[in-house]
Chains A and B, each alone.
Chain A
Amino acid sequence: DTAVSQTPKYLVTQMGNDKSIKCEQNLGHDTMYWYKQDSKKFLKIMFSYNNKELIINETVPNRFSPKSPDKAHLNLHINSLELGDSAVYFCASSQPRGRYGLETQYFGPGTRLLVL
């Protein structure tokens, strides 16, 4: 049973297109995240949702729009794709903040986006 799943795993598309990546978690977590990992492997937080409410919206172009229909799902829609959007996008989930900080994040397998 996959704890955090993402679809699609690979996404190849043309510049200017609109695409979506879906994420689902069956861990019963309240908090979900989107990260972008660039070619140098640097992990950058993009968005964080807690129980369907947006908590973090880092400096991300507004072409990126997250949507959380329920607390088990967090989708990422990207408009007008650009070459620089090529990266691996990871979804993650965790329990809410604990006594010492944010709880362990469990990651999906990643979506490898290539914009041509």
Chain B
Amino acid sequence: AQKVTQAQTEISVVEKEDVTLDCVYETRDTTYYLFWYKQPPSGELVFLIRRNSFDEQNEISGRYSWNFQKSTSSFNFTITASQVVDSAVYFCALSETNTGNQFYFGTGTSLTVIP
């Protein structure tokens, strides 16, 4: 079973629209990390944010915000007033305390912002 599900394969929005990228995770651990990474068309993987399982406070960084809800096992990412430079593939990932020695990456959401 997929530990991290990003159900939205591709999203297109018009510039200045807000967009939310969904991430649903599955774990039996009570302590874990959740991450978001950005992969722009140039190909590199850029770390955006990390949250631990005890910190459900929403995070805002400029136009980016993250909504972590343990009750629904979700860690959603919202871009406000999207820009063309936001066009990228975005990956959500999970790292557990007790299980394995690896990140569990979602399959990614490809976001296209149309000017």
Contacts and interface: CB of A to CB of B under 8 A. Distances in A.
Interface in B92-113: 94-97, 101-103, 105, 107-108, 110
Contact of A41 (B35, B52, B89): B89
Contacts of B20: none
Interface residues of B, number: 29
B108 A41 contact: yes
Nearest to A44: B105
Contacts, number: 70
Contact of A106 (B47, B94, B102): B47
Given A41-B89, A107-B45, A109-B44, A101 B97 contact: yes
B47 A101 contact: no
A100 B60 CA distance: 22
Contacts of B107: 40-42
A106 B50 CA distance: 12
Contact of B44 (A104, A105, A110): A110
B101 A56 contact: yes
B33 A100 contact: yes
- Band of interface residues on A: 20 to 34
B12 interface: no
A72 to B, nearest CB: 19
Nearest first, the 9 A-B pairs at minimum CB distance are A101-B95, A107-B45, A102-B95, A100-B52, A43-B105, A101-B33, A100-B31, A45-B102, A100-B33
14 contacts: A48-B102, A56-B101, A56-B102, A88-B43, A90-B45, A98-B33, A100-B31, A100-B33, A101-B96, A102-B101, A102-B102, A104-B35, A107-B44, A107-B46
Interface of A: 40-43, 45, 48, 55-56, 88, 90, 92, 97-110, 112
Given A55-B101, A102-B101, A104-B33, 17 more contacts: A41-B108, A42-B105, A42-B108, A92-B45, A97-B101, A99-B31, A101-B97, A102-B95, A104-B35, A104-B47, A104-B50, A105-B47, A106-B47, A107-B47, A110-B43, A110-B44, A110-B45
